[in-house]
Structure 1
Amino acid sequence: MTCSAGTMSAARAAASTPARATSLHRAAAARASPAARAPAPAPASTTSHCGLAGARPAPRRAARGGPANAAAVSWDVDVNVDPKGPNTRELFASITIAAPPDLIWDCLTDYENLADFIPSLETNKLMERFPGGCKLYQVGAQDVALGAKFRAKALVECREYPAGLRGDGARLGFPQPRGTVWGRKSSDITFKMIEGDFRVFKGMWNIQNGRMPGTSRLSYAVTVTPQLWLPVALVQGRIAGEIEANLKAVRSHAERLQTVRST
C-alpha cells in the first residue's frame, strides 16, 4: 500500500547500479556470518538485516528514546527477509509507536495525503473510493547517483478491516505480519498491486495496542516477486531499507499528530 511504488523504484534503482548492489550484497553476506551476529549492536545499514538467498537475516534495529519505563518495550524497527522461492521474498517489519491504534489507522487510511509523510512517494492519487477500501495510483522516485532518479508506477488496491481479518489473512493470499499477539484486538489493511513493475507485490498492515498504555504496535508483511529479468537477491536489501524508512515515517507522523492532539 503506502510503500509499494517507492519500494519498486528502490528496486529499479538497485538494478540500475550493479556495482553498488554487488557491494551491498557482499556486505549482507558478511553480516550474516557468525561474527556479525555477536551481541554488539548492528550498524544502521540498508543491508545489515538482509543475508544472501537462503540465509536468515538478522533484525535491523534503530535506537529510540521513550518513557522512563521503556526498558520493558522494544522501540526498535525490526525487518526480516525470508526466501519463498527462487525469485520471491517475504518481508516482515514491526515498530512501536507512542500513539494509540485509532490514530495509526487514521494515518494509514488518509489516502489523499500519504505522499506528505511517506518517503520516496512522488505521486499519490486516490483513483477510486469504495466501501471498505480504495484504489491508489502511486509513483515512487529513488535517487541513484549524479542527480539521476528512477521511477516506478503502481496501481494498488487497498482493503480495510477495522475489526481485523478473521483468521490470519492466508485464506485471502496475504502474508501474516509477525509480532502480532493472538487474541488482542487488531485492525488490518491489505494491499495488492493490480498493475505495476513487479509480478507480485501484496501484503498487509496490522495495528494492535502496544505493551505500554498509549502505544501501538504496527506490523507489516509483504510478498515480493520481481519481473523475471530482475533477481530478487539483487534488490532485497534496498526493498527492506525502504520498508524501514516508511515505518519510521509513519511513526514520526503519528507521534506529531498525537502531540498536537494532547495539547
Structure 2
Amino acid sequence: MIQVRLHTLDHMQQEIADTIDREKRKLMRGEIVIDLAFLPDDVIGVCGKIFIAAPPEAIWKTLTDYNNLSETLPKVLSSKLVGQHGNTIILDQTGRTGIFFFEKTVSFQLKLEEEYLNRVSFEQLSGDFSIYRGEWIISPMEETEGCVLVYHAEIKPAFFAPPILVSFVQRQDLPGIFKAHKQRAESF
C-alpha cells in the first residue's frame, strides 16, 4: 500500500522553520554545517556555513586579504592579486586538492566580484576546473554579535576525478578553511 501525505502550506512552512532553527542551534554550538549535492553533468554543489563571533569588517578582512591567503588557509600554496578594476578582482591561486595518494596541485585564475561587507562571488577564468564558481556571503546575526559565513560553490575538475571523490574532498577540506577564517576573524 502506498501512503501519500499531503502537507498544508502552514505545515511545510513550519518544517522549513524547524530546519532553520536546528541549523542555527548547530552553528551557535560551534558546528560547521556542510551540505553536498550531486548536480547534472558530474558537477558537485557545495554549501557550507560557520558562525564567527566577529563583526562583518573582520570577516571581510580575512576573505579579501588575497595576497596572504596562502599564509592563512590550509592547502592554498600561493595566492596573488593580479588585477583590480573597481569591485572586480583577478586572482591567481595554486593549491593542493585530493586525499591520500590522490593529491594534486591545481592552479586557476579567478574573477572575483566584491560587494563590500556582504559577498565575494567568484568564477574561474582559466585553470584546472571545468566549472569552479560560487560565493562567500557574510550574514550578520540579529540576536547575537557575530555573523554566519556562508560558502556556496559548484565544482567540476577538468582532470579525472569521480564526483564521489570530489564531494569527499570538499567535506574534508572545507572545515579547515572555515576554521582558519574563523580563527583569523575572531583574532582581530
**Equivalent residue in structure 2 for 1:206, among 90, 113, 137:** 137
Q: What is the CA-CA distance between 1:212 and the residue it aligns to?
A: 4.2
Structure with more strand by fraction: 2
Structure with more helix by fraction: 2
Alignment length (residue pairs): 164
Q: Are 1:237 and 2:149 counterparts?
A: no
**Equivalent residue in structure 2 for 1:156, among 89, 105, 110:** 110
Query: Which residue of structure 1 lines up, in the alignment, with residue 48 of structure 2?
Result: 93
Query: Which residue of structure 1 lines up, in the alignment, with residue 3 of structure 2?
Result: none
* Structure 2 spans left out of the alignment, 5+ residues: 1-24
Query: Which residue of structure 1 lines up, in the alignment, with residue 155 of structure 2?
Result: 224
For 2:145 and 2:62, locate their aligned partners in 1 and report how far apart those are by CA, in whole Å: 16
Written as runs of structure 1 = structure 2, the 5 A alignment for 1:28-67 is none
Q: 1:126 to 1:236 in 2, by over 3 A?
A: same
For 2:182 and 2:54, locate their aligned partners in 1 and report how far apart those are by CA, in whole Å: 8
For 1:194 and 1:72, locate their aligned partners in 2 and report how far apart those are by CA, in whole Å: 33
Q: 1:77 to 1:71 in 2, by over 3 A?
A: closer
Letter in 2 for 1:229: F
* Structure 1 spans left out of the alignment, 5+ residues: 1-69, 164-186, 258-263
Q: TM-score, normalised by structure 1?
A: 0.57
Q: What is the CA-CA distance between 1:211 and the residue it aligns to?
A: 4.7
Residue identity over aligned pairs, in percent, reads: 23
Q: What is the CA-CA distance between 1:143 and the residue it aligns to?
A: 8.2
Query: Which residue of structure 1 lines up, in the alignment, with residue 75 of structure 2?
Result: 120
Q: Are 1:189 and 2:120 counterparts?
A: yes
Q: What is the CA-CA distance between 1:72 and the residue it aligns to?
A: 9.2
Letter in 2 for 1:119: P
For 1:211 and 1:78, locate their aligned partners in 2 and report how far apart those are by CA, in whole Å: 19
Q: 1:216 to 1:234 in 2, by over 3 A?
A: same
Q: TM-score, normalised by structure 2?
A: 0.78
* Runs of 4+ displaced beyond 3 Å: 142-146
Higher relative contact order (Cα pairs below 8 Å, separated by 6+ residues): 1
Q: What is the CA-CA distance between 1:227 and the residue it aligns to?
A: 2.6
